[in-house]
Amino acid sequence: MQLRTLGSTDITISPLGLGCWQFSGGKGLIGGFWQALEPETVRSIVAASLEGGINWFDTAEAYGWGESEIALSQALRSLEVDPEDIYIATKWFPVFRRAASIRATFPERESCLRPYPITLHQIHNPLSLSSVESQIHAMADLVEEGRLRAIGVSNFSAKAMDRAARVAEQRGVPLVSNQVRYSLLYRKVESNGVLSAAKDHGITLIAYSPLEQGILTGKFHDQPDLIRSRVGPRKFLRWFKPKGLEQSRPLIDLLREIAQKYEVAPEQVALNWLIHFSGETVVAIPGASKARHAESNVRALSFTLNEDELARIDQCSREVLNG
């Protein structure tokens, strides 16, 4: 597995990280999307990710209001992971807040994750009461003080990302990432200018929901009754409805066909496509609520799709989305 550079930094990360939203303890509006996991389950997920070559983890303040960060750090400590061997990305929650709260809330982020330093701090969405300029300056101050290594954004449009990147460049602290929803069933970054702008600025796109909440595994196509037992609002999303399952079936069939060649699963093909289709610009953070999910994720790093396969999947995905 070849590591990739995070933006314009000297930080080298695996093409897949572990998304830790599901470590939220079932708390809060955002964390309530998932049911609470036992500490031993979290530990096994983190262990499987590390064993598979993943060297970075993405969490956030809003994931259970610190619960995800705490669960992650506890798991890493119990596994005796050296802080110098991994990278942690977290996020400041900007809704109804001003830029001053970036500094005000940072000690809590440090406390929740201790002894693991924060490598990348991200603005979770563009909904702060303060300007983008004020937010980037607040983030850059923390970098200059040596309290974190890099800054990023999340859910920013091409225009907002460009604006943030220019402010960061003026401060001499480059913007290195934009975390966005991106999968074979959600490809808006390709048409709304985000992917193009990221390439222009040398910014890494971190793809969240890369398996569309599990739809790209194909298990819900085989066993649609599983959908009714899901915790949280996933069952009401487009692709989980009967029409969505039927519409996406041709893509699942193709992923399965290609998966047979590599002796992997369809979700591993979907992840491999995502981290290779746009060169090295895109990395992904699939989540895992069981150790076997994490083991499955990392198998996506064990092979590389060829150009023909990338193109076939691309075309099938477009046909499904336009259907």
Q: Grade residue 164 by pLDDT with cuts at 50, 70 and 90.
A: very high
Query: Given this model, what pLDDT does residue 35 score?
Result: 78
Strands 150-154 and 175-181: parallel
Kindly report, residue by residue over 64-80, the tens digit of the pLDDT.
999 999 999 999 999 99
Residue 235 has pLDDT above 70, yes or no: no
How far is CA 242 from each of CA 8, 69, 217, 222, 248, rounded to the nearest angstrom? 43, 36, 16, 12, 10
Of the listed ranges 53-62, 175-184, 195-204, 211-220, the least confidently predicted one is 211-220
Cis peptide before 115 (omega within 30 of 0): yes
How far from chain centre, in Å, is Cα 168?
22
Kindly report, residue by residue over 16-38, the tens digit of the pLDDT.
999 999 998 777 656 656 678 99
Instruction: List 91's β-bridge partners, or say none.
Output: 122
Q: Which residue has the tokens 């989980």?
A: 240
What percent of the chain lies above the pLDDT cut of 70? 95
* DSSP letter, residue 203: P
Q: What stretches of the chain show up as alpha helix (H) in DSSP?
A: 28-31, 39-51, 67-78, 100-113, 132-144, 158-171, 194-201, 219-222, 242-262, 266-276, 291-298, 307-321
What percent of the chain lies above the pLDDT cut of 90? 86
Query: Given this model, what pLDDT does residue 28 score?
Result: 64
Instruction: List phi, psi (to 5°) of 204.
Output: -80, 135
Closest among 109, 229, 142, 238 to 186, alpha carbons compared = 238
Of the listed ranges 17-31, 58-72, 126-140, 171-185, the least confidently predicted one is 17-31
Give the separation between CA 158 and CA 311, rounded to whole angstroms: 25
For domain 4-212+263-306, the CATH superfamily is NADP-dependent oxidoreductase domain (3.20.20.100)
Query: Given this model, what pLDDT does residue 26 score?
Result: 73
* DSSP letter, residue 237: S
Give the separation between CA 51 and CA 79, rounded to whole angstroms: 11
Residue 228 has pLDDT above 80, yes or no: no
Domain ranges, ordered by start, for the chain: 4-212+263-306
Contacts of 163 (CB under 8 A, 6+ apart): 132, 133
pTM, 2 dp: 0.96
Q: Which residue has the tokens 């993405």?
A: 58
Let me know if 63 is a catalytic residue: yes
Residue 122 has pLDDT above 90, yes or no: yes
Terminal alpha carbon distance of the chain: 36
Query: What is the rounded average pLDDT for all residues in the chain?
Result: 95
Q: Grade residue 160 by pLDDT with cuts at 50, 70 and 90.
A: very high
Q: Which of 63, 87, 182, 208 is catalytic?
A: 63
Look at the alpha carbons of 207, 212, 213, 216 in this order and tell me if their dihedral is positive or negative: negative
Q: Which amino acid is at 231?
A: V
Query: Given this model, what pLDDT does residue 322 score?
Result: 94
Closest among 189, 210, 315 to 269, alpha carbons compared = 210
Residue 108 has pLDDT above 80, yes or no: yes
